[in-house]
Chains A and B, each alone.
Chain A
Amino acid sequence: MKDLLISRRSIAGLGAAAAAAALAGCGNTPAEGSAEAAGSAPAKSTSDGVQLQVFAANSLEKAMPEVEALYTEQTGVTFADTQYKGSGDLVEQMRGGAPVDILITASAGTMDDAEEAGLVDADTREDMFVNDLVIVRAEGSDIEISSLEDVASVDGNIAIGEPGAVPAGKYANQALASVGLYTEDEGEGGEYDASIADKVVQADKVGTAAQYVSTGDCAIGFVYTSDVYRYDGIEVAYTCPAESHKAIVYPGAVATGSENADAAADFLAFCMDNEDALAIWAEYGFELA
């Protein structure tokens, strides 16, 4: 009886071990097909070629994968799972020690931060895209905005990126400051005017702001022109005048910690020069700087 018990237990143990092994096996298979991201470190060279880790501003989330796929097709260089977050978050994540080859942010300020912290190679820095700041509303909404002042009289919440981490939020605050609805001209560290203060909803990424408007949680939101093309159900209500905020540029640079700095620089050049890549940017509304 006792022996039987032990043997049953060991069989169960073996079974459990086998199941665990099978699990581990299954876990690896799906990853092979795509980004070759299997393994623990997100960014490293694979045996058969270079793998690049890109950190890109959240607004590039839909266009960048297509450009990466095109590059992989043409050169065989693969990409680890690209991170699309608020530019400030990306810089913090790099500071935290995440391995990165290329950083593309949505504002000169965040790239300056990265440069000051020694995270990116200043010589490789290049302005890649320009964008416009727009106020969006849900598709078919009857909200009319003909000037920035109209924001104060909108009935409903206003989605704005958190200015510390989201450049779009900072630009939005600058635009609001130009009509006295925000106290700091720099777009950060100030207070909203009482008429809109309790209507402002801060978003952790510019995409989140667009999503809030798309789902109806907010009546209007401050996003980039290019965001309108990547979220369903929102449309431009008003384009903020270029002089109401600092110029919106997307600088890109190679990270100092990159083990494939040359390959990274090649990819940045490809983004800016390859005609097929340019066609993809054009489809998604990114205008080259």
Chain B
Amino acid sequence: MFPLGRSALCVRGGYGLLAPREVGARGVARIPLVLFVITALVIGSVWCATPVAAWADSKDDRAEQNALADADAGFGLTDFTRYQTGNNRPVEGEDIGYRYPLDDDADVVIAVTAEGKALVFMDEEASIEAGFAAEGADDADVFRALAEELDERAAKGGETLADNPGREWTISTASEAAVGPYRVRVGVAAGGRRYVSVIPAEMPEGSTPAAAAEQQGLDLSEALSWVDTARLVPASAVTGSAEATLGEQAANFFSGLDMRPFWVSLKTSAVALVITFILGLFAAWKTMGASSRLKGVLDSVFTIPMVLPPTVCGFLLLLIFGNATPLGRWLIAHGVSLVFTWEAAVIAAVVVSFPLMYRTALGAFESLDASMLDAARTLGWSEARIFRRLMMPLAWPSIAAGTVLAFARAMGEFGCTLFFAGNYAGVTQTIPIAIYFEWMSGNTDVALFWVIVVILFSFVVVLFINLYTARSLRYRERGGTTRRARSAQHDEAARAEEPAGDVLRIDRAALRSLIKDAAASPREGGR
């Protein structure tokens, strides 16, 4: 946060002072405004989508999904549920055979046999109430069409009623039917609930379905492929089956969207960035001052996470902090239990983004003119002050670019985070991890949404780097390293010497005035 805030300040300050002299600066100064608007748009679009867990309102969605009516025929089906399998557990100690659940108010059951026949069991009262004429061929066809459509919606990819146009349909008001060696019974009451159950057709006196099936070598679960249950109602009782408009679909999509990956990403990379920024600059500064042999070693150590695959970093971190190694166990025993926590995600992000910060800062520091730093030393400046007042301002454009890159890298971290911090929604699930797992679970639209967010974000980042670099270039050409330097009028000649195009090139005039100022001011110099 700090570097971004600070750069914005520099730009604003520059605008205020330069505007009277140079009208061209106006355009440059609009850049942060444009950036701000774009960023706000991205964040705003994400913000507007209220974060709700994906399943929170699935009940309502379902009610609309599993109801359908035919206005002409005057009846419809609601509460349509499809059970792919049943089970043969006894209900409160009572063996009722292989059973499928049946809701209390369901009055239609479609049992699809292994041979592909559709057996429809219909409650007589309900069919009269709904105005369904069992004998009328038209009503049967309408019923079949409704059932096929609803079954398709509930099939979740399994075989559907509509798959087989030649399917044999039998509609009856009976409560049981024989299917080969099996008997299918509807509305079997047990334990205060109702079931659709399959038992052997031949049941010896006193035997249980399970025992009889075993005796006859039958597998009760094989009698039926699946069972649909529903309520038969007058068409007027069915609501909300209208197709959702595009706007509603979008609203549904956004209200069902889990926004936590965005916040986790932002929080993780913001914290990681603060750590990376401080560590990276410090490491670069100290490495620069080190002897050449030590420098080689330090440099390799600091840079290696950049060349290693992130999964290797993740694996190493897991070995260090995980439960599988003595070191990890020792750490866990001493209260350092980091694996699969949010802190782990931050550490992973720091490890992979650190080299970017470090390399850019080191490169910028090394390209500073050493004689100038020495000159500052002869004036009695402390090393810390040289770093703060000389190296940082001069290397700032590169450091700012490095910071943005490090932030983007932290934001995009995947392999190391997944290894070390896992995929916990709302805790360690960042946007890249969400993209992968949403796609894997078949939620392609959610994955696509996150991809678009990331592309927009990356676009803003690249735009920022380019515009900021361009701005610093012009700023620098004008001799604007510090405010006071700008007030000096003698920079015309200095600028002529200075070839444009290299942001790291030092503005000698600015530096001169800077050192002169510092020497002239006892308060500053004394510190």
Which residues in A have some Cβ–Cβ distance to B below 8 Å? 1, 5, 8-9, 12-13, 15-17, 19-20, 23-24, 26-27, 29-31, 33-35, 37-42, 61-62, 65-66, 69, 80-81, 83-84, 93, 95-99, 139, 205, 207-208, 210-211, 214, 225-226, 228-236, 275, 278-279, 281-288
Q: Is the CB of A97 within 8 A of B323?
A: yes
Q: Is the CB of A41 within 8 A of B341?
A: yes
Q: Is the CB of A211 within 8 A of B440?
A: yes
Take A20-B1, A236-B159 as given contacts and tell me if A97 and B337 are in contact as well, using a CB distance cutoff of 8 Å.
yes
Q: Is the CB of A12 within 8 A of B340?
A: no
Take A23-B267, A40-B342, A42-B340 as given contacts and tell me if A16 and B51 are in contact as well, using a CB distance cutoff of 8 Å.
no
CA distance A229 to B52 in the complex (A): 24
CA distance A30 to B255 in the complex (A): 12
CA distance A233 to B156 in the complex (A): 9
CA distance A226 to B484 in the complex (A): 73
Other-chain residue from A15, A23, A33 in contact with B5 (beta carbon distance below 8 A):
A15
Q: Is the CB of B337 within 8 A of A30?
A: no
Can you list 12 residue pairs at the A/B interface with Cβ under 8 Å?
A: A5-B13, A12-B9, A16-B2, A24-B267, A31-B426, A34-B56, A37-B426, A84-B441, A207-B441, A282-B101, A285-B158, A287-B221
Q: Which of B155, B156, B157, B159 has the most CB of A within 10 A?
A: B157
Q: Is the CB of B266 within 8 A of A23?
A: yes
Residues of B close to A139: CB separation below 8 A: 157
- The distance from the CB of B148 to the nearest CB of chain A, in whole angstroms, is 16
With both beta carbons as reference points, the residue of chain A lying nearest to B87 in the complex is identified as: A288
Take A40-B341, A234-B157 as given contacts and tell me if A214 and B442 are in contact as well, using a CB distance cutoff of 8 Å.
yes
Q: Is the CB of A97 within 8 A of B5?
A: no
With both beta carbons as reference points, the residue of chain A lying nearest to B12 in the complex is identified as: A8
Q: Is the CB of A96 within 8 A of B263?
A: no
Residues of A close to B341: CB separation below 8 A: 40-42
Q: B241 near A: Cβ within 8 Å?
A: no
Residues of B close to A236: CB separation below 8 A: 158-159
- The distance from the CB of B40 to the nearest CB of chain A, in whole angstroms, is 12
CA distance A53 to B4 in the complex (A): 39
Take A26-B263, A33-B53, A97-B332 as given contacts and tell me if A9 and B427 are in contact as well, using a CB distance cutoff of 8 Å.
no
Q: Which of B324-358 contact A (CB under 8 A)?
A: 324, 328, 332, 337, 339-343
Q: Top 4 closest A-B pairs, CB basis?
A: A97-B323, A34-B53, A285-B84, A30-B51
With both beta carbons as reference points, the residue of chain B lying nearest to A280 in the complex is identified as: B101
- The distance from the CB of A41 to the nearest CB of chain B, in whole angstroms, is 6
Q: Is the CB of B101 within 8 A of A83?
A: no
CA distance A282 to B98 in the complex (A): 12
Q: Is the CB of B422 within 8 A of A282?
A: no
With both beta carbons as reference points, the residue of chain B lying nearest to A34 in the complex is identified as: B53
Q: B86 near A: Cβ within 8 Å?
A: yes
Residues of B close to A38: CB separation below 8 A: 426-427
Take A69-B55, A99-B340 as given contacts and tell me if A12 and B422 are in contact as well, using a CB distance cutoff of 8 Å.
no
Residues of A close to B270: CB separation below 8 A: 20, 23
Q: B322 near A: Cβ within 8 Å?
A: yes
Q: B431 near A: Cβ within 8 Å?
A: no
- The distance from the CB of A288 to the nearest CB of chain B, in whole angstroms, is 4
Q: Is the CB of B442 within 8 A of A230?
A: yes
- The distance from the CB of A43 to the nearest CB of chain B, in whole angstroms, is 9
With both beta carbons as reference points, the residue of chain B lying nearest to A205 in the complex is identified as: B440
Q: Is the CB of B156 within 8 A of A284?
A: yes
Take A23-B270, A231-B442 as given contacts and tell me if A83 and B426 are in contact as well, using a CB distance cutoff of 8 Å.
no
Take A93-B422, A282-B101 as given contacts and tell me if A81 and B5 are in contact as well, using a CB distance cutoff of 8 Å.
no
Q: Is the CB of B157 within 8 A of A233?
A: yes
Q: Is the CB of A37 within 8 A of B267?
A: no
CA distance A232 to B332 in the complex (A): 43
- The distance from the CB of A14 to the nearest CB of chain B, in whole angstroms, is 9
CA distance A275 to B84 in the complex (A): 16
Q: Is the CB of B328 within 8 A of A97?
A: yes
CA distance A146 to B99 in the complex (A): 30
Take A40-B342, A40-B427 as given contacts and tell me if A288 and B156 are in contact as well, using a CB distance cutoff of 8 Å.
no
Q: Is the CB of A81 within 8 A of B426?
A: yes
Take A5-B13, A33-B52 as given contacts and tell me if A287 and B157 are in contact as well, using a CB distance cutoff of 8 Å.
no
Residues of B close to A24: CB separation below 8 A: 267
Other-chain residue from A15, A31, A95, A235 in contact with B260 (beta carbon distance below 8 A):
A31
- The distance from the CB of A45 to the nearest CB of chain B, in whole angstroms, is 16
Other-chain residue from B1, B157, B267, B324 in contact with A235 (beta carbon distance below 8 A):
B157
Residues of A close to B2: CB separation below 8 A: 13, 16
Residues of B close to A229: CB separation below 8 A: 84, 155-158
Q: Which of B77-126 contact A (CB under 8 A)?
A: 81-89, 91, 100-101
Residues of A close to B439: CB separation below 8 A: 211
Q: Is the CB of A81 within 8 A of B1?
A: no
Q: B204 near A: Cβ within 8 Å?
A: no
- The distance from the CB of A254 to the nearest CB of chain B, in whole angstroms, is 18
Q: Is the CB of B85 within 8 A of A287?
A: yes
- The distance from the CB of A68 to the nearest CB of chain B, in whole angstroms, is 9
Q: A34-B426, A279-B83, A284-B84 are in contact. List 12 more A-B contacts (CB 8 A).
A: A12-B5, A20-B1, A30-B259, A34-B52, A81-B423, A81-B425, A81-B429, A139-B157, A211-B440, A211-B442, A281-B87, A288-B89
- The distance from the CB of B95 to the nearest CB of chain A, in whole angstroms, is 14
Q: Is the CB of B157 within 8 A of A232?
A: yes
Q: Is the CB of B9 within 8 A of A8?
A: yes
Residues of B close to A210: CB separation below 8 A: 442
Residues of B close to A40: CB separation below 8 A: 341-343, 427
Take A65-B55, A83-B422 as given contacts and tell me if A282 and B442 are in contact as well, using a CB distance cutoff of 8 Å.
no
Take A8-B9, A69-B55 as given contacts and tell me if A35 and B425 are in contact as well, using a CB distance cutoff of 8 Å.
yes
Residues of B close to A35: CB separation below 8 A: 53, 425-426
Take A35-B425, A95-B324 as given contacts and tell me if A30 and B84 are in contact as well, using a CB distance cutoff of 8 Å.
no
CA distance A39 to B427 in the complex (A): 7
Q: B191 near A: Cβ within 8 Å?
A: yes
Q: B483 near A: Cβ within 8 Å?
A: yes
- The distance from the CB of A24 to the nearest CB of chain B, in whole angstroms, is 6
CA distance A23 to B262 in the complex (A): 11
